[in-house]
Structure 1
């Protein structure tokens, strides 16, 4: 029996959720961040998560959902999601020139043998570039602990959509590289969601984006759109490494790199020197993430606890509804609703003229349906600012979520703008997240709902 065979046999148990080493709950875990109406008076950007939690006066939920997840999402704003993504990008993608920690690596033969065990139509070779990323993913464990935890919620859905589209199941690791499985991740360029769709690409693939909803953040719909996009890219290049590169930097940049590399270029590694720096790290990061997920047990990496309920179901909502209508009726923490429905940016389901889905913990679906009449009856309380006189019958009020953009002119005040458009100052401040009614600047854009 040769050395390679021994290594392969030792590495044979590769299922990531087999027997796992026990780990204490980590307070420094990467979390999914959601916007909230309130924010602590002081929120130091340089503060560690442990320091933030120890000083935060944000309310904690005393029920089964009370995890570090909740205490973070209550107070941290979406800007923290952007900062978290930047940290992730710098630590796990943009590491081409970062020195490799040779003291914490395994023999090359082990990495190479394990990668060969991953049978996939996506070519995943072992080389010095891939090695650097594998070491990063397997030694900086916080990321993979959280990915393993979140994957228990997201991967079954992602794998089902990939299978339905006839795509390689290994593409489930793409949103790990894109967003660390955070549906609210926002890149420096404005790409959003699990699959990091830019606004224009998202619209091309049918994702709705407006003031109330961003379906790039909808785990299911964005996954369906990503499957269509990946299938289109593979149809262009007929090579998965090139398709992945194009997913990151766009087909135009890949085509330029192919031209510079010459007629013999067939895959990512042939055009590697001619790609943008970020994309040069993209495919190696995908390979490394696949390796780290598959061999998580061998690297003593266990899933971090997650507050995401693994059993969920959806109900269709056909009228405008605020999350507070639900939480005040069936006593379900708003942060749970936000975590399961990150696409609703203002905690409002804008169901005017069409229906939208609402995801709930499976155990709460029956309670929601039993109390649906009471929940709907609260719309005039929680949605009052969107009630407008009917154009056909002014004595009747109807919900209106249509908006237009007003540009502030010289001499304008918030009060004069509100009076001119038959709305209140409080509504203008709410719609535009204004903190001070007296601070306007010429040219400032305001969203006004009809």
Structure 2
């Protein structure tokens, strides 16, 4: 198809745009070139230090070589550190899960770095071929490793279930190939592909069979090594972790066996439904269907006591009470406030302490302590060094069924033979027996405007009944309680 010739006027406009954009383009190009030069100089100057750091890592898993591909991958991420900053921030929440599951299965802890290159530690990550989750399972292979996928649940997005599925695959691959570096390569190329490369090369580890593997897999183990290096030693390169909220870092799993909606969880805990969804992306309809095998529900540590109490008290009851602590008006805009929901503490190191020993004392994963303090688990602590950590302020909601017993009785009347209107009297019911009045707002409105509709109602009483602090406008759809006279 022929294109319309560009008119003279259009050429003038285009050239004018290029003239004004030229300084910006030249500045960006110069900045990128300068950064490339600085990173290349750093990698060449510090090559011996990088090699030394790699040698500090667990060599029983694989040989951490510093070849050209590893060097180029580390250099690339130093040029664009934002992804590493996000990866390290997410690791605070997910590494404790991986570490616990790998330890329970007897597998090397360093395998926890695989999801860094598979999904960048994003549980909702979706590849172009349909693999999804932290460990990137395909829909047709997930059931083979114990992961359920149906209209309600996709366990590829469940951090606990997907980790167990990945452990089964890696354990099978190691038993088949008898080498961890090859088992890691098999996570990308498949066990059969790695086995064929072994037969062709006669090699028994990744470095000896590398040239016979598919092109993508040749760089897979180097990417794994680069991920370990950048996650362990990010601080020495001046990378600042991009942390999620503490509600998404300090989390705990609750196993639920009965049907439960995210809305009910929000009522019990005071969390927003958006936070619950981010922590539990595997539930497709915002609902736990109540399968007999149970479901993992991940929540901030500070609210799990309230949820467990609710489940133990009334989750199986047909007569479920209204939850008095449900902050309905707070839910849409709620976000955790570190100064309110969490406390920060410091532990002073002694001359005998390591990061691992302090983690054991505090019962906090060493990987979390390391990232909170911009340290590597391999770093040596000095006496008196302050190690920062956080504790949640636990929501201890105690559910009670409130039943109002009234001592009021209808008065007995001496009934004459014939009643007259003067004998008939009205005895009002006591206020405590009346039903509460609720008002649903069809448009945004200030509390003062609502109070103005009820002449008997005082502003302080209305604010107290709805747990409001001031006359801030309420959004449409809010439900407010109108106290009775």
- Structure 1 residues 260, 105: CA separation in 2 closer, same or farther (over 3 Å shift)? same
Aligned to 2:129: 189
Residue number in structure 1 paired with 2:193: 253
Superposition deviation, residue 274 in structure 1: 2.4
Spell out, residue by residue over 1:240-275, the C-alpha distance to the aligned partner (whole angstroms, 9 max, x if none). 1111111111012112222333x2x22212222222
Q: How does 1:35-434 map to 2 (within 5 A)?
A: 102-107=40-45, 108-121=47-60, 122-261=62-201, 263=202, 265-307=203-245, 308-328=247-267, 330-371=269-310, 373=314
Distance in 1 (CA, whole Å) between partners of 2:99 and 2:305 is 27
Secondary structure, counterpart of 1:191 in structure 2? coil
Q: 1:138 to 1:315 in 2, by over 3 A?
A: same
5+ residue gaps in structure 1? Answer: 1-97, 380-450
- Paired residues of 2:39 and 2:78 also in contact (CA < 8 A): no
Q: Give the superposition deviation at 1:218.
A: 0.7
Work out the CA distance in 1 between the residues paired with 2:187 and 2:112. 14
Mark the structure with the bigger radius of gyration: 2
Asked if the contact 1:325–1:375 (Cα under 8 Å) also holds between the matched residues in 2, the reply is: no
Contact 1:120 1:168 in 2 (8 A): no
Q: Contact (CA 8 Å) 2:39, 2:79: kept in 1 or not?
A: no
Q: Runs of 5+ in structure 2 lacking a partner?
A: 1-35, 321-485
The farther-off stretch of 315-324 and 218-227 is: 315-324
Computed over aligned residues only, the root mean square deviation of the Cα atoms, in angstroms, reads 2.6
Q: Give the TM-score, by structure 2 length.
A: 0.54
Displacement of 1:352 after TM fit? 4.2
Deviation at residue 345 of structure 1 after TM alignment: 1.8
1:422 aligned residue: none
Distance in 2, Cα, partners of 1:148 & 1:314: 21
Provide, for residues 133-173 of structure 1, a one-character-per-residue CA deviation record: whole Å limited to 9, x for no partner.
Answer: 12123332111111111111111121121122222211111
Instruction: Calculate the TM-score normalised by the size of structure 1.
Output: 0.58
What does residue 465 of structure 2 align with?
none
Deviations 1:167-202 (A, max 9, x none): 221111111011111111111111111111122332
Deviation at residue 126 of structure 1 after TM alignment: 1.4
Contact 1:330 1:371 in 2 (8 A): no
Q: RCO higher in 1 or 2 (8 Å CA, sep ≥ 6)? A: 1
- 1:292 aligns to what SS in structure 2? helix
Q: Are the aligned partners of 1:313 and 1:360 in contact in 2 as well (CA < 8 Å)?
A: yes
- Number of equivalences: 280
- In 1, the alpha carbon distance for the partners of 2:55 and 2:308 equals 50
Q: CA separation of 1:118/1:366 partners in 2, compared to 1, >3 Å: closer, same or farther?
A: closer
Specify whether residues 131 and 367 from structure 1 end up closer, same or farther in structure 2 by C-alpha distance, changes over 3 A only: same
Shift of 1:117: 1.8
Structure 2 contact 93–251 (Cα < 8 Å) conserved: no
- Determine if contact 1:320/1:349 at 8 Å carries over to the other structure: yes
Give the Cα–Cα distance (whole angstroms) in 1 for the partners of residues 107 and 38 of structure 2. 33
Q: What is the distance in 1 between the residues matched to 2:255 and 2:149?
A: 19
